[in-house]
Structure 1
Amino acid sequence: MRISLLHTIDGNRQVFEHAAAEMGLRPEDLRHVVRADLREAVERAGVVPADIKAQTREMLVELADEADAVIVTCATLGPVVAEIGNGPAPVVRADVALAAWAAESAQAGEKIAVLCAAEVAIEANRKLFTQYASDSGASVDVIHVPQVWTLFKSGDMNACLAAIASAAQDAYAAGATVVAFAHPWMAPAAGLVSDEAGHGKRPLDSARAALRVAMRRAGEAATGED
């Protein structure tokens, strides 16, 4: 199986490689393309400019030509996927895969807590997770953790991951049934979440979520299933 991934943060490569290894994939099964310039252009403009959308579409179609599935790991670029239509291979949005997984994991009356570090992504995550949780009857609480974003940008990943794990434990203690990490680079913090309260759960991350969907959809495409 060949899965191509379009990243805008280089550190996400290792996150997805680790998740892939846990799921039985080999390093050679993944092809990583990092385009930090796309994210930087969006940050400068404050929106996704037309030329960035066009570049993203072209890149995704090119990757799909040489893969069984493609994953877009950047939520900002994710909406471009809808503009591609039926391509040569399935294209998966990591943020959508995570929202769907969180909804599947919760039942009516339960609470999904989404830890979001970047303020600019709060409303988009609230809208996305609420959309997918509506059928399950679960509520969604997007929790802004600005200290995590500050630590991430400073490069202090040990302190950053510890802060994420602490926020996840607080969310469980506050009654969340499901905790989801809004950003792929948060994934390593899942292993640091203690189970002092006995909840026996692991936070969901978009790396595992996206790879689950990509593997399933690639398999369906290979067998001709809808």
Structure 2
Amino acid sequence: MRIACLHTIESNIEPFEAARRERGDSSLTLRHEVRDDLLAAVGRAGSFAAPIVAETVAALQALAADADGVLLTCSTLGPAVVPAQKVCPVPVIRVDQGLAREAVREGGKVLVLCTASTTLFSTQELFEAEARATGASIEMRRVPDAWEHFKAGRLERHYALTAQAADQAFREGAKTVVLAQVSMAAAAALCREGRPLVSPATGLKAAVIAAQMAFGASV
């Protein structure tokens, strides 16, 4: 099985390769394409404007031509999955769909952390939609300054700030804490108050299941 991944940050490749290795499935291969220009365009426009949505859909459609499933790993571009699903011959999955479903499964308070302001709206919309099925309550928070450190290449500081925010959320009584962006995943290992949920493994699993179901294979 071949899953194509559309990234906007090159450093997001390795978390998915790690998740693939952890699955222990030699038949699963990943193809990676990095389109940092799409995320940069959102930043310049101040929103996920229609022309950027169209360009993202075109990129997903191109990947779908040679894959069993496509995984969009950028939370900011997540809404492009809906129109892409209408034109792609294989399943197209947004990386945080499975994460949101898992986070709200048991209800209660779910605190969702983001670092990039551009992803807040689409992430909140997704988590609140999933929460309606279980009665979970969603609170969104942006980790101050973390994204600026990430963009400047100060990854350790980015992870430290993210872990501190997650630990604070656990201390405040959050039942579930989510690190919503793939770029935040490495911070989970630094947390001391609890284990936050992260998206690479759940996103890849969702893409594989969707591809298996599309081709009539057993899950």
CA distance in 2, matches of 1:25, 1:151: 35
Provide the C-alpha distance between the structure 2 equivalents of 1:222 and 1:28, rounded to a whole number of angstroms. 15
Q: Which residue of 2 aligns with 1:112?
A: 110
What secondary structure, in the 3-state scheme, does the structure 2 residue paired with 1:100 have?
helix
Deviates more, 1:185-194 or 1:81-90: 81-90
Which runs of 5 or more structure 2 residues have no equivalent in the other structure? none
Q: Deviations for 1:74-106, whole angstroms, at most 9, x for unmatched residues?
A: 1222212211316321100113232122122x3
Q: CA deviation at 1:52?
A: 2.6
- Matching residue of 2:89: 88
Aligned to 1:155: 153
1:198 — aligned with what? Answer: none
Residue pair 1:17, 1:27 contacting (<8 A) in 2 also? no
Within 1, Cα distance between the matches of 2:87 and 2:216? 16
Where structure 1 has 5 or more consecutive residues not aligned to the other structure, the ranges are: 196-200
Aligned equivalents of 1:170, 1:37: Cα separation in 2: 34
Q: CA deviation at 1:43?
A: 1.4
Instruction: Tell me the equivalent position of 2:22.
Output: 22
User: Would you say the 8 A contact 1:118–1:146 is kept in 2?
Assistant: no
Alignment CA distance shift 1:216-1:169 (3 Å): same
2:102 corresponds in structure 1 to 101
Distance (Å, rounded) in 2 between the aligned partners of 1:11 and 1:205: 15
Counterpart residue type for residue 125 of structure 2: K
Please state whether the residue corresponding to 1:48 is helix, strand or coil.
Answer: coil
Code of the residue aligned with 1:202 in structure 2: it is R
- Aligned twin of 1:210: 203
The 1:207/1:178 distance shift into structure 2, 3 A limit, reads same
Provide the C-alpha distance between the structure 1 equivalents of 2:82 and 2:36, rounded to a whole number of angstroms: 21
- Deviation, structure 1 residue 25: 4.4
1:220: how far off?
1.0
Q: Which amino acid aligns with 1:178?
A: T
Q: In structure 2, how many angstroms separate the alpha carbons of the residues matched to 1:172 and 1:151?
A: 23
- Alpha-carbon separation, structure 1, partners of 2:162 and 2:49: 31
Q: Is the 8 A contact 2:70 2:92 kept in 1?
A: yes
Residues 115, 175 of structure 1: alpha-carbon distance in 2 compared, 3 angstrom cutoff: same
TM-score by length of 1: 0.87
The residue type equivalent to 2:130 in the other structure is Y
CA distance in 2, matches of 1:91, 1:172: 33
Counterpart for residue 46 of structure 1: 46
Mean Cα deviation higher: 213-222 or 45-54: 45-54
Superposition map of 1:1-226 within 5 A: 1-25=1-25, 29-84=29-84, 85=86, 87-104=88-105, 106-107=106-107, 110-195=108-193, 202-223=195-216
Q: Root-mean-square deviation (CA), in Å?
A: 2.2
| Counterparts of 1:224 and 1:86, CA distance in 2 | 22
- Cα distance in 2 between the residues matched to 1:86 and 1:43: 26
How has the CA–CA distance of structure 1 residues 26 and 41 changed in structure 2, closer, same or farther, with 3 Å as cutoff?
Answer: farther
Question: For residue 64 of structure 2, what is the amino acid of its counterpart?
Answer: A
Code of the aligned partner of 2:92: V
Distance 1:119 1:80 in 2: 18
**Aligned-pair CA distance for 1:38:** 1.4
Distance 1:43 1:194, change over 3 A: same
User: 8 Å contact 2:76–2:118 — kept in the other structure?
Assistant: no
* DSSP 3-state at the match of 2:44: helix
